[in-house]
């Protein structure tokens, strides 16, 4: 909830200088003892900010006071959000919106039934109308009460979204104040300054773009490369190049993509990486032929729901942004995506629909804030490379369905807080690379992990077998209608089959060679 020092360096510093919003507690008369004065707790040390070394004017009291006044609205909103709680997951918010729509539809139906209900013969017309008004009022009140919970959830999400925008505006205000202080101006009265040089540069660049545009319109051009041109805008007329198949706009300073891009019905590749985009137009969903989309290295906070309509997408890179959630239906519609990169974002969860992206071969989710994976994740049976590293303290466990990823070859779980791997990981027969560094693993222990992926799988098989052996007597006792001899025969048959399947792997781990002795532990159990 506090501004991230990386994204909002000045704001983070100024917010640390604001007085605490907490309520002070005073000692009562009964608690006070003059002979035993209370030890007042020392205030926590102020965090160290390297920014003061790069921006020395931040230590000027006048500058700090001006900045504190400029972010008073941020401070108040932050205090409110701390009371209300964290931002709800996007899928929950979408579900709340669906529920509201269902309640509205139900209410319309009930009101229609009330209005169209016939007047009882024994009731006067005026009494009948009053009765209908009472019923309508009761119906509306009941529905409003039912909607309260969902409305509150949506309102909390909208408040968090507004807070994110407020942080951006506040950082810009603080930057202007600091620039004024550096130039020796009055920080208390900052005038708006327009960047004339930037405008001149923009006009100069646009002339070049217009030249390329005019040339492209006169021919059947399939590829246009405008990367690295310091572009700040793209003319709407680009939507008229209907023959375009590849458009490269990477490494520019674009803040907006024009809606006219939707007219490029033949476009198959769109490269928008390393720009200043904070959003994508809804019209991007009309690019039905798009196969490769790269929007990495921007400032995207969300993806438009319409992006789900780009059903031809095969490669999608949205890494190095500020995404906190994905569209709820993204998995139901982008079923052809094979490579999905979402690294270096703020994703806390994946929608349940992710399990429908069954064409996925590579999924990169490192450096996010994942709290876990949905149960449906096991449906990604074609997945070969999965990177979940560097989710740090947020990722503490994996679902059992991870064992259903039968084609998984590489799995990176390093730099998380995973204590225990699920037993089902032993079913990943094609797994050849398993990275578990910097995890507080207990199962399997570190001495097994250092032996490599095969040792880990063998350990998990043995552990699962131990559990089954321990559970077998209880299972046998619960069986009804079987004689002791029958139970013993069934148990022996089951145990022999299980051991024959896993003995070679386990013995290989414990004995180390192809001609290793049978596992002593298993012999004891037999």
pLDDT tens digits, 325-352: 999 999 999 999 999 999 999 999 999 9
More confident residue, 225 or 41: 225
Q: What is the mean pLDDT of residues 108-126?
A: 78
Cis peptide before 455 (omega within 30 of 0): no
Distances (CA, A) of 418 to 298, 384, 389: 31, 21, 11
Distances (CA, A) of 369 to 9, 156, 324: 20, 20, 9
More confident residue, 410 or 476: 410
Q: Which DSSP state fits 353?
A: G
pLDDT over 90, % of the chain: 34
Per residue in 202-213, pLDDT tens? 444 456 666 666
* Model pLDDT, residue 122: 80
Rounded to the nearest 5 degrees, what angle is found at the Cα of 204, between the Cα atoms of 202 and 209? 85
Q: Which DSSP state fits 320?
A: S
**Looking at the chain, how many residues does it have?**
526
Per residue in 401-458, pLDDT tens? 999 999 999 999 999 999 999 999 989 999 999 999 989 989 999 889 888 899 998 9
* Model pLDDT, residue 218: 61
Average pLDDT value over all residues in the chain? 76
d(CA 99, CA 338): 33
pLDDT band per the 50, 70, 90 thresholds, residue 475: low
* Ramachandran sector of residue 515 (left: φ over 0; alpha: ψ -120 to 50; beta: rest): alpha
Domains of the chain: 50-188 (no CATH), 220-465 (3.80.10.10)
Per residue in 285-304, pLDDT tens? 999 999 999 999 999 999 99
Cβ atoms of 343 and 319 closer than 8 Å: yes
Distances (CA, A) of 85 to 79, 80, 161, 290: 10, 9, 13, 39
* Model pLDDT, residue 116: 76
**The pTM is what?**
0.59
β-pair type (315-317, 385-387):
unpaired
Six token digits for residue 84: 């209300």
Give residues with Cβ within 8 angstroms of 99, minimum separation 6: 150
């Amino acid at each position: 909830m506090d501004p991230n020092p990386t994204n909002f360096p000045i704001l983070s510093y100024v917010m640390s200088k604001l007085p605490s919003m907490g309520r002070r507690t005073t000692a009562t008369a009964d608690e006070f003892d003059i002979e035993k004065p209370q030890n007042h707790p020392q205030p926590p040390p102020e965090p160290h900010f390297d920014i003061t070394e790069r921006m020395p004017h931040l230590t000027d009291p006048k500058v700090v006071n001006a900045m504190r006044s400029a972010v008073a609205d941020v401070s108040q909103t932050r205090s409110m959000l701390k009371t209300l709680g964290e931002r709800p997951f996007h899928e929950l918010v979408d579900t709340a919106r669906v529920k509201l729509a269902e309640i509205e539809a139900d209410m319309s139906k009930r009101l229609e039934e009330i209005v169209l209900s016939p007047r009882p013969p024994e009731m006067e017309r005026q009494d009948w109308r009053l009765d209908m008004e009472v019923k309508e009022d009761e119906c509306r009140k009941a529905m409003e009460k039912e909607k309260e919970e969902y409305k509150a959830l949506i309102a909390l999400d909208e408040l968090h979204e507004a807070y994110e925008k407020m942080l951006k505006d506040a950082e810009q205000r603080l930057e202007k104040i600091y620039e004024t202080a550096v130039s020796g101006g009055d920080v208390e009265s900052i005038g708006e300054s327009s960047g004339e040089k930037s405008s001149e540069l923009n006009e100069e660049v646009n002339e070049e773009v217009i030249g390329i545009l005019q040339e492209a319109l006169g021919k059947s051009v399939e590829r246009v490369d405008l990367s690295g041109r310091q572009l700040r805008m793209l003319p709407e007329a680009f939507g008229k190049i209907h023959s375009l198949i590849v458009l490269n706009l990477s490494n520019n300073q674009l803040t907006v993509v024009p809606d006219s891009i939707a007219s490029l019905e033949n476009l198959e590749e769109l490269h928008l990486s390393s720009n200043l985009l904070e959003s994508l137009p809804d019209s991007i969903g009309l690019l039905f032929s798009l196969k490769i989309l790269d929007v990495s290295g921007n400032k995207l906070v969300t993806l438009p729901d319409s992006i789900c309509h780009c059903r031809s997408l095969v490669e999608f890179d949205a890494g190095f942004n500020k995404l906190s959630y994905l569209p709820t239906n993204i998995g139901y519609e982008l079923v052809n995506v094979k490579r999905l990169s979402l690294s270096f974002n703020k994703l806390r969860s994946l929608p349940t629909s992710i399990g429908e992206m069954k064409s996925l071969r590579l999924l990169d989710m490192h450096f996010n804030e994942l709290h876990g994976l949905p149960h449906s994740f096991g449906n990604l049976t074609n997945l070969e490379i999965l990177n979940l590293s560097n989710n740090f303290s947020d990722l503490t466990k994996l679902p059992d369905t991870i064992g259903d990823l039968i084609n998984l070859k590489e799995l990176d779980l390093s730099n998380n807080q995973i204590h225990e791997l699920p037993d089902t990981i032993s079913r990943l027969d094609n797994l050849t690379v398993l990275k578990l560094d910097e995890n507080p693993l207990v199962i399997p222990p570190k001495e097994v992990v250092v032996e490599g992926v095969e040792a880990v799988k063998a350990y998990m098989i043995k552990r699962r077998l131990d559990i089954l052996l321990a559970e077998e007597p209880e299972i046998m006792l619960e069986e009804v209608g079987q004689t002791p001899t029958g139970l013993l025969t069934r148990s022996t048959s089951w145990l022999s089959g299980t051991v024959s399947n896993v003995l070679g792997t386990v013995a290989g781990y414990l004995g180390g060679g192809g001609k290793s002795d049978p596992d002593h532990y298993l012999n004891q159990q037999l």
